[in-house]
Chain A
Amino acid sequence: MSTQTSDGPAPARAAVRDQLDRVTDPELDRSIVALEYVDAIEIDGGHVSVDLTLPTAWCSPAFAWMMAVDARDEIESLPAVEEARITLHEHMHETEINRGVNEDLSFAEAFPDADGDVAAVRAELDDKARVARQYDAVEALLEAGLDARAIVDVRLRDLEYVDGADSVSIYVRDSSFAVTVPEAPLERYLEKTREIGLVSAPADRLFRTPEGEPIDPDSFDLVHRRGRLAQVNMSSQGGICDGLREAREGRLEETAGD
């Protein structure tokens, strides 16, 4: 139940949910809302509490950390929110994670024994998500009739958003003509490149190799295949996570039924 305080209006539940929808499971590149990791949202004035449960108790602590921190930051970015509290349940490291996230500690402070750097893990998974998202964007351009040579040459300045339409015009061959593609796959890709600062200047080439370099037209097919492969990897891991979660839920139900 949301309530009002004298400090100002409480955030709307839908707004909180929308913010959470922006948080992805970094390994699967899917929203934690869509993956049903969010158990509950409580709003009390400017204070928002979120309960999360992941598919297994031993999900990588670094991944669990990223999701919890991102959820906190996304919710706290709403002007009406004073503080967000995240509670992760049924995880082998829930104590460290909940304390760290809610006391604004760094990963290294929350996990003094952990070797490895959460920023590096995040960067690697961001790159994989970018490569997988690029596949869908490039597919849209291929469907619009562009060939490899034209696609590798597209720059940020060549895009023109059409007001009120869910499509984007892309000017190619020195602006000699434009094709129109659906906005969604392109925007989803650009969201990730913006997040990691890969494509920002008007003259920057839109599409990149997994290593972040512009694409040579001769290796276009191979790079595109690697995008597909990145998608298959993520959805395969998603299949394992789903299965493990079902097995866990099944066991919990059985125990409850005994």
Chain B
Amino acid sequence: MYQHNGEEIFVIDGHVHLWDATEENIQHQGGEEFIQCFYDYHTTFTPEERQWDIDEYRKYGADRMVEDLFGNAAADMAIFQPTYLTDFYDEGFNTTEQNAELATEHPERFVLNGTFDPRDGEEGLEYLEELHEKYDIPGVKLYTAEWRGDSKGWRLDDEDAFEFLEKCQELGIENIHAHKGPTIRPLNRDAFDVKDVDDAASSFPELNFIVEHVGLPRLDDFCWIAAQETNVYGGLAVAAPFAQNRPGKFSEIMSELLWWLGEDRVLFGSDYALWNPDWLVEEVLEAELTEEHRAEYGVEWDLETKKKVMGENIADLYDIDIEAKRQTFEDDEISQQFELEDHYASEEPAAADD
């Protein structure tokens, strides 16, 4: 939990990966371009002394990930968002199965999401059922710009996609995370267009649509859709690290999001290992809205809002009981490993002492 002016903020990192972009795993030039592009985003928005070198960035492994996320208790929990890219990477870049190894080792700390791709047809529906049965996934991460053979992408408002969304609804997979954000070479920019979320969200009011990267470079289209569809949420990955080297822009983007979506529908995510919560959480929580933006938009980045954005909002979507988790973390394996037992016990209410 992040200690902020004497208050504790429970942080759920809503967007993390455990990827493998080693040269042995790359089977298409696109795989190399993709990791190089990720690395450009990493260096652009990471303080110089916290930047990784490209080799550790290709594959960092489970132990390092656990330490980065939880070692200094910057994050308390994290949600795996898979990115398959099986045309580019032999074993996939960051699949549910790869994530599952770590997620099942620490089920209290990780939420494991799955995915679907409507272009996989009947086989894809079966795979979704399999993920549901095997891992009881509460959500999916979707990558509409993923290449599959000759296809350079798909849309959430396609008839085929609706069939998969119906299946999600039927299986109780409620959280639909769609990457709608910056183009990543070599993927097609227009395949990340956010407009298809509109029809999908109004057609499936029982599902939650989390637009990762708040639609950038289409923040305007995203906010306008979210203003009308109350089951649309904004994931802060990519916007969050602006706090570190573009604080004025962070203030402006956050002000817009709070104005259009309100404080209940904005969700924190680091996009690990694009950026590392071990410094990012602090940057975001210590960031301030400028005087001008607060006056112009009439919104606040105050303690209550921070608690919601950093954990409470996504806890609602994933039925996570934050107080119960805090108690569990007083002596779970990870707290023992990093000697965080006191950290989680420190604010225990007196009534629970006996």
Contact = CB atoms under 8 A, between A and B. Distances in A.
Contacts of A247: 40, 43-44
Contacts of B253: 232, 236
Given A235-B249, A240-B182, A247-B43, A229 B219 contact: yes
Contacts of B33: 58
A115 B219 CA distance: 24
A236 B183 contact: no
Contacts of A240: 44, 182, 216-217, 238
Interface in B20-47: 33, 37, 40-41, 43-45
Nearest to B223: A229
Among A115, A128, A247: residue with most chain B CB under 10 A: A247
A145 to B, nearest CB: 19
B132 interface: no
Interface residues of A, number: 31
Interface stretch (B94-102, B135-143, B185-193): B185-193
Contacts of B50: none
B130 to A, nearest CB: 32
Nearest to B260: A229
Contact of B220 (A121, A128, A243, A248): A128
Given A233-B217, A243-B44, A244-B44, A116 B190 contact: yes
Interface in B187-237: 189-190, 216-220, 223-224
Contact of B183 (A60, A116, A232): A60
Interface string B92-134: 0000000000000000000000000000000000000000000
A246 interface: yes
A226 interface: yes
Interface in A112-151: 115-116, 121, 128, 131
Contacts of A56: 40, 185
Contacts of B45: 243
Given A229-B260, A232-B252, A236-B249, A58 B185 contact: yes
A246 B220 contact: no
B259 interface: yes
Please report whether the interface of chain B is mostly helix, strand, loop or mixed according to DSSP. helix
Nearest to B252: A232
A125 to B, nearest CB: 10
A225 interface: yes
A237 interface: yes
B152 interface: yes
Among B41, B43, B152, B182: residue with most chain A CB under 10 A: B43
B167 interface: no
A203 interface: no
A57 interface: yes
A232 B186 CA distance: 26
A168 B182 CA distance: 40
Please report whether the interface of chain A is mostly helix, strand, loop or mixed according to DSSP. helix
Given A27-B217, A239-B242, A121 B223 contact: no
A12 interface: no
Contacts of A60: 183, 189
A236 B260 contact: no
Nearest to B186: A58
A20 B12 CA distance: 48
Contacts of B239: 236
Contacts of A62: 189
Nearest to B150: A113
Contact of B185 (A92, A228, A235, A248): A92
A186 interface: no
Given A58-B183, A230-B220, A243-B45, A236 B252 contact: yes
A246 B238 CA distance: 17
A239 B43 CA distance: 14
B44 A237 contact: no
B3 interface: no
A237 B152 contact: no
B245 interface: yes
8 contacts: A27-B217, A225-B259, A226-B220, A229-B219, A244-B41, A246-B44, A247-B40, A251-B43
What 4 pairs across the A-B complex have the smallest Cβ distances? A58-B185, A243-B44, A237-B217, A233-B219
Interface of A: 27, 56-58, 60, 62, 92, 115-116, 121, 128, 131, 225-226, 228-230, 232-233, 235-237, 239-240, 243-244, 246-248, 250-251
Interface of B: 33, 37, 40-41, 43-45, 152, 182-183, 185-186, 189-190, 216-220, 223-224, 238-239, 242, 245-246, 249, 252-253, 256, 259-260
Given A232-B256, A240-B217, 11 more contacts: A229-B223, A229-B224, A229-B256, A232-B219, A233-B219, A235-B249, A236-B216, A236-B219, A239-B249, A243-B246, A247-B40
